[in-house]
Amino acid sequence: MILIGSALGDPPKSPAEKTPKESKPEKSNKEPAAFASAELAVLDRFAGPWNVAESHFNTRGEVVGSAKGIEDGAWVLDRKVLQRTYTTGEEGRLFRAIGMISWNPALKRYEGTWFDNASISGPSALSGVWDEAAKTMTFTLTSSAPDGKAVQHKVIDKFLDDEHRVVTTFKVDGALVEKVIEVQFKRAVPCPANVGVIAPEGLKRDR
């Protein structure tokens, strides 16, 4: 979902992939009726553990760095907010981020915030729209540069299927749109503490 890795700093180095164990998400039964709205139910597809692989690009579109890590999506606040915890890199040089997203029925859009340990100008505000036909969430992120100037990114989070996503982040400066990061997501088998994240039949599949 989201602005990731070294768009706000140098690309982190790659660690071995692992399954996240930090979050203790509320049990998900994948039933829309368990949510306050159908729009919140859409976010349930982002829940659970994911292995991630980042590619970082320069202004010429060349890959200049890569990193591997994990994301864990967990429902909080009575299943009204999805919290996403993202970590890449290696010990001693980890990129860490926490994102929160929910549905705003008044404005009819998804809204949230994104905090990370690379930003020096506070969190990013995000808003998003879901395209059911394309299985894609498109986010706009707005943050501040050290001089106070607004910085904007566009993030396209596309599901290839239930197990795979591709998230592409673009920096937007007027008419200039520059691809900075692409992240491949693969759904991970949860640790025993998180078995409620994925339906039992999902645990039987060959990952």
Q: Give the global pTM.
A: 0.76
In single-letter form, the type of residue at position 130 comes to W
Residues of the chain with pLDDT under 50: 1-2, 6-17, 20, 23, 28-30, 32, 194-207
Let me know: does 46 contact 82? Beta carbons within 8 Å.
yes
- Structure confidence at residue 91 (pLDDT): 82
In single-letter form, the type of residue at position 138 comes to T
- Of the chain, the end-to-end C-alpha distance in Å amounts to 22
- Structure confidence at residue 192 (pLDDT): 54
| Torsion, Cα of 30, 32, 34, 38 (10° steps) | 130
Quote the DSSP letter at residue 122: -
- Structure confidence at residue 190 (pLDDT): 72
Buried b (16+ CB within 10 A) or exposed e, 53-62: bbbbbeeeee
Residue 100 CB partners (closer than 8 Å, separation 6+): 81, 82, 83, 84, 112, 113
- Structure confidence at residue 8 (pLDDT): 42
- Tens digits of per-residue pLDDT, 113-141? 999 998 877 899 999 999 999 999 999 99
Let me know: does 153 contact 167? Beta carbons within 8 Å.
no
Instruction: Delimit the domains of the chain by residue range.
Output: 5-204
Determine phi and psi for 113, rounding to 5 degrees: -135, 160
- Structure confidence at residue 191 (pLDDT): 62
Going by CATH, does the domain composed of 5-204 fall within 2.40.128.20? yes
